[in-house]
A and B are shown apart, each in its own frame.
Chain A
Amino acid sequence: SQWGEENLQALSIQEGEDVTMNCSYKTYTTVVQWYRQKSGKGPAQLILIRSNEREKRSGRLRATLDTSSQSSSLSITGTLATDTAVYFCAKDSNNRIFFGDGTQLVVKP
């Protein structure tokens, strides 16, 4: 999982498969953000989920937040080759933001 506990992870899947990426955290957070970063580009925020929300969807994306286990996940259904990117999570803590190491997702056509 992310947030500095592991190095950048890598996943390689076939187009059409579903995938889930996870983040866990140790300190209280009010917001978890999920980002996608394609090679050579700036990060793009995908989903923002607040501590009072358990789930949020946006198209093929679904984010969950479990405050009891202090973890969040991002799922992508029906992946496309264009979903190939690094995905990372971010959380706020004491009014500051901290980013995870990221998951390198490769979707093979």
Chain B
Amino acid sequence: DPKIIQKPKYLVAVTGSEKILICEQYLGHNAMYWYRQSAKKPLEFMFSYSYQKLMDNQTASSRFQPQSSKKNHLDLQITALKPDDSATYFCASSQDQDWGYEQYFGPGTRLTVL
């Protein structure tokens, strides 16, 4: 059974629209993260949450808003989509919010903005 679920697997959006990427983890972890992987670029950290509280935001744009309705949920809302937002977005979790803990990644949501 998958321990981290991301929905949808693929997403196509038009410029200017808004989308929500879903993430649920069933590992009992206290910390969750969002990462972005664009073509030909390194994996990029976006947000970290611990016990449903935002711990770090490394995303310059306010168009990206994480939402945590439950401890094991961390969704990512993206507004006013741009073609440059096209990337694969990965959700991850770890036991606690410390880089010394092993991180587990979801399968990703590939977003294409036309």
Knowing A31-B100, A42-B105, A50-B100 touch, does A101 contact B56 (C-beta < 8 A)?
A: no
A16 at interface by CB-CB < 8 Å: no
**Minimal Cβ-Cβ distance residue in A for B105:** A42
B99 contact from A7, A92, A100, Cβ within 8 A: A92
On chain B, the residues within 8 Å of A30 by CB distance are 99-100
Knowing A42-B90, A43-B43, A101-B42 touch, does A33 contact B108 (C-beta < 8 A)?
A: no
A97 at interface by CB-CB < 8 Å: yes
**A48 and B100 contacting across the interface, CB-CB below 8 Å:** yes
A87 at interface by CB-CB < 8 Å: no
How long is the Cα–Cα vector from A30 to B100 in the complex, in angstroms? 8
Q: Can you list 29 contacts pairing A with B, beta carbon distance less than 8 Å?
A: A4-B42, A7-B40, A8-B40, A30-B99, A31-B100, A41-B107, A41-B108, A42-B90, A42-B92, A42-B105, A42-B107, A42-B108, A43-B43, A43-B105, A44-B105, A45-B103, A45-B104, A45-B105, A88-B42, A92-B99, A95-B56, A96-B56, A96-B58, A97-B45, A98-B42, A99-B43, A99-B44, A100-B42, A101-B42
Interface residues of B in 39-71 (CB under 8 A from A): 40, 42-45, 56, 58
Closest 10 CB pairs of A and B: A42-B105, A92-B99, A99-B43, A99-B42, A43-B105, A31-B99, A97-B45, A42-B107, A101-B42, A45-B102
Secondary structure of the B contact surface, majority rule: loop
The chain B residues found within 8 Å of chain A, CB to CB, are 4, 40, 42-45, 56, 58, 90, 92, 99-100, 102-108
How long is the Cα–Cα vector from A57 to B92 in the complex, in angstroms? 24
**Minimal Cβ-Cβ distance residue in A for B90:** A42
How long is the Cα–Cα vector from A3 to B99 in the complex, in angstroms? 17
